[in-house]
């Protein structure tokens, strides 16, 4: 049997699946929301590290461009700042 991730054993994945099934819908929703929040924070922190001199507006533009798409960023903030 192959696992979803190459660095995870079959046994570990089975335990994870069992725990997710036992968690119930509300707990799974909470876990997904927490993972999404963490991912957004990682993206934001990565942008700040890669663009230390960027303004808050430019970081917001880049964030929307990365997480949604360029057209959405242009609709929300106008053309890319600095172009």
Nearest CA to 74 out of 56, 65, 83, 66 is that of 65
38-72: b or e for each residue (b if 16 or more CB lie within 10 Å)? eeeeeebeebeeeeeebeeebbbbbbbbeeeeeee
pLDDT of residue 77: 83
* Distance, CA of 66 to CA of 68 (rounded, Å): 6
12-64 pLDDT, tens digit each? 999 989 999 999 999 999 999 999 999 999 999 999 999 999 999 899 999 99
State percent of the chain over pLDDT 70: 95
For 69-80, what is each residue's pLDDT tens digit?
888 888 888 876
Query: What phi-psi label fits residue 20: left (phi over 0), alpha (psi between -120 and 50 degrees) or beta?
Result: alpha
Q: What share of the chain in percent tops pLDDT 90? A: 64
């Amino acid at each position: 049997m192959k696992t979803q991730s190459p660095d995870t054993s079959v046994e570990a994945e089975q335990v994870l699946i069992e725990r997710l099934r036992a968690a119930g819908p509300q707990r799974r929703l909470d876990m997904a929301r927490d993972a999404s929040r963490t991912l957004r924070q990682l993206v934001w922190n990565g942008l700040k590290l890669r663009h230390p001199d960027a303004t808050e507006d430019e970081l917001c533009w880049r964030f929307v461009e990365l997480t949604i798409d360029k057209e959405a960023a242009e609709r929300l903030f106008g053309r890319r700042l600095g172009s």
